[in-house]
A = this chain, B = another copy of it.
């Protein structure tokens, strides 16, 4: 008998019931309302979901293809059929995560109605909330950094997409300089860097912060507090000093 464990496909379990319906004995039949493409898409999506879970938890190397296959409604064979290799699957997971957070990050700060300082505060809070709501993404980025961003470097899709829109931050800053509330002797990238660092760190290093300092960043109060902190830091850094 084979070494790979038989997969425990229970019909009607958890996810994608519609998909299961198509799959009587693993093949699709004419009378069903979903066509082949839709099924293939559902299968891909299903595998991607299981893979995301596994890669987020263990990183690329330590993640197990066998476990991903077992946790999906599909099989290892299908995984390779759709994604070619472990690396290919990982790349797809990574790009999907960047897509997701990129879509949410389309910051629509009301630049006109707010004062520059208030607009900056609003801008600064966005990455914070975004990272908080996309912990999977944060963990994938951490894993990428541990492997020197190999996969990201190979992805055109990711390289060409900037998560935060610089131009909007720059506009706010220029307005602030014009009305005298902000310094003009800074680099915007430094401001951006400070905002992102604090926002990212609050999510990425939650575990060690709790283990070493005893601070739990996941409580509602602490989250509110950190959100305010990011804004405070950003605003005080760019504020024109009195003297």
Contact = CB atoms under 8 A, between A and B. Distances in A.
A142 B203 CA distance: 12
Interface string A51-86: 000000011011000000000000000000000000
Given A146-B142, A201-B196, A153 B215 contact: no
Nearest to A192: B213
A118 to B, nearest CB: 16
A189 B215 CA distance: 10
Nearest to A164: B213
Contacts of A197: 197-198, 200-202
A38 interface: no
A194 B229 contact: yes
Contacts of A194: 194, 198, 229, 233
Contact of A59 (B59, B208, B233): B59
A163 interface: yes
User: What copy number does this chain have within its complex?
Assistant: 2
Contacts of A224: none
Contacts of A243: 242
B59 A152 contact: no
A212 interface: yes
Contacts of A139: 146
A217 to B, nearest CB: 9
| Interface residue SS majority, chain A | helix
Most-contacted residue by chain B among A142, A205, A232 (CB, 10 A)? A205
A143 B145 contact: no
Interface of A: 58-59, 61-62, 139, 141-146, 148-149, 152-153, 158-159, 162-163, 189-190, 193-194, 196-198, 200-202, 204-208, 210-213, 215, 225-226, 229, 232-233, 236-237, 239, 241-243
Contacts of A202: 193, 197
A143 B205 CA distance: 10
Query: Which 5 A/B pairs are nearest by Cβ-Cβ distance?
Result: A242-B242, A61-B62, A149-B207, A197-B201, A62-B62
A148 B207 contact: yes
